[in-house]
Chains A and B, each alone.
Chain A
Amino acid sequence: MSTIAYSRDHEVVQRLRPEPMTQAEIDAQERIDPVEFDIFKHKMHMIALEGKETTMKLGASTAMRWGDVAFGVFTRQGDLSVCATGIYHHAVLGQIPLKYVVKHWVNEPSVGVKEGDSFFYNDPFYAGVHNADMGLAVPVFYKGELMCFIAAAVHTGEAGGTEPGGTCNTAKTKYDEGLLVPPIKIGENYQLREDILNMLAAMTRDPRTMILDIKARLAAARIAQRRVLEVIEEKGPEFFIGGLRRILTQTGEAARRRVAQLNDGVYRQPRFLDTVGTEAGLTKINLTLIKKGDTITMDFENSSPMLEGRPMNSFFQGILGLSCVYYCGWLFHDLPANNGLLEAIDWRFPDDAMVNAKGDASTSLAPLVQTCFTQGMFLAGARMTYNYDSSRAVAAWFSGFAIPTFGGINQFGEGIADITPEINATGCGARPDMDGVDAAGAFFATMSDCSDVEATEADRPFLYTFRNFFNSSYGHGKFRGGSGVGFGLMVHDTNRFMLGSMGGGSRFPSTLGLFGGYAVPPVFVQTVHGSNLKDLMADGHTPLPNKLAGIYAPDAPEQGNKATSEVNMVVKPFNDGDTYYVAVGGGGGYGDPLEREPESVLKDLRADRVSHFAAREVYRIVYDAETLRLDVAATEALRADSRKARLARAKPFAEFVRTWDSLSPPQEALRYYGSWPNPREGMLPVGQLKAA
Chain B
Amino acid sequence: MTKLRITEYLDLDLVAERWQCNRCGQDLGAAQANYKEGCLVAERDLAEVHPPLLEGQAQSYTPDSQYCRLVEFYCPQCATMLDNEYLPPGHPITHEIELDIAALKQKHGLAANAAGGAKG
Interface of A toward B, CB cutoff 8 Å: 263-270, 272, 274, 280, 282, 292, 379-380, 382-383, 386-387, 390, 393, 432, 472, 476, 478, 506-509, 512-516, 518-519, 521-524, 526, 549, 552, 554, 564-566, 590-595, 613, 617-618, 643-644, 646-647, 649-654, 656-657, 660-666, 669, 677
Contacts and interface: CB of A to CB of B under 8 A. Distances in A.
Interface of chain B, main secondary structure: loop
Contact of A617 (B39, B48, B58): B48
B57 to A, nearest CB: 5
A267 B97 contact: yes
A183 B116 CA distance: 56
B4 interface: yes
B45 to A, nearest CB: 10
Contact of B68 (A264, A379, A509, A565): A509
A650 B41 contact: yes
Interface residues of B, number: 62
Contacts of B95: 268
A516 B80 contact: yes
A651 B89 contact: no
B99 A515 contact: no
A554 B66 CA distance: 27
Nearest to A664: B90
B11 to A, nearest CB: 10
Contact of A266 (B7, B58, B98): B98
A521 B62 contact: yes
Interface in B72-87: 72, 74, 76, 78-84, 86-87
Contacts of B57: 564
Interface in B35-79: 36-43, 48-51, 53-55, 57-64, 66-69, 71-72, 74, 76, 78-79
B92 interface: yes
A677 B84 contact: no
A325 B88 CA distance: 27
A270 B68 contact: no
A386 B5 contact: yes
Contact of A564 (B59, B81, B82): B59
Given A265-B97, A516-B83, 15 more contacts: A263-B103, A263-B107, A264-B99, A267-B98, A269-B96, A274-B64, A383-B96, A508-B68, A522-B59, A618-B49, A647-B79, A652-B40, A653-B40, A653-B93, A669-B88
In order of increasing CB-CB distance, the 10 nearest A-B pairs are: A663-B90, A650-B40, A524-B59, A643-B79, A507-B64, A663-B89, A264-B100, A650-B42, A265-B99, A656-B41
Contacts of A590: 8
14 contacts: A264-B103, A272-B67, A280-B67, A507-B67, A508-B64, A521-B61, A522-B61, A590-B8, A591-B8, A643-B80, A653-B36, A653-B38, A665-B90, A669-B67
Interface of chain A, main secondary structure: mixed
A509 B66 contact: no
A209 B94 CA distance: 46
B104 interface: yes
Interface of B: 4-9, 36-43, 48-51, 53-55, 57-64, 66-69, 71-72, 74, 76, 78-84, 86-100, 103-104, 107
B65 to A, nearest CB: 9
Which of B4, B50, B74, B100 has most A Cβ within 10 Å? Answer: B50
Contacts of B58: 564
B67 A282 contact: yes
B8 A516 contact: yes
Contacts of A594: 80-81
Contacts of B60: 522, 524
B63 A522 contact: yes
Nearest to B98: A266
Contacts of B63: 507-509, 519, 521-522
A660 B8 CA distance: 27
A643 B76 CA distance: 10
Contacts of A644: 79
A666 B66 contact: yes
A437 to B, nearest CB: 20
Contact of B49 (A270, A518, A595): A518
Contact of B81 (A269, A519, A592): A592
A566 to B, nearest CB: 6
Contacts of B74: 646-647, 650
Contacts of A618: 48-49
A44 B14 CA distance: 46
Contacts of A564: 54, 57-59
Nearest to A549: B53
Contact of A516 (B81, B86, B96): B81
Contacts of B36: 653
Which of A519, A566, A677 has most B Cβ within 10 Å? Answer: A519
A344 to B, nearest CB: 17
A380 to B, nearest CB: 7
A343 B59 CA distance: 45
Contacts of B38: 653
Contact of B89 (A432, A506, A613, A665): A665
Contact of B9 (A282, A508, A516, A665): A516
A387 B50 contact: no
A516 B79 contact: no
A552 B5 CA distance: 44
A274 B6 contact: no
B90 A661 contact: yes
Contacts of A591: 8-9
B78 A270 contact: no
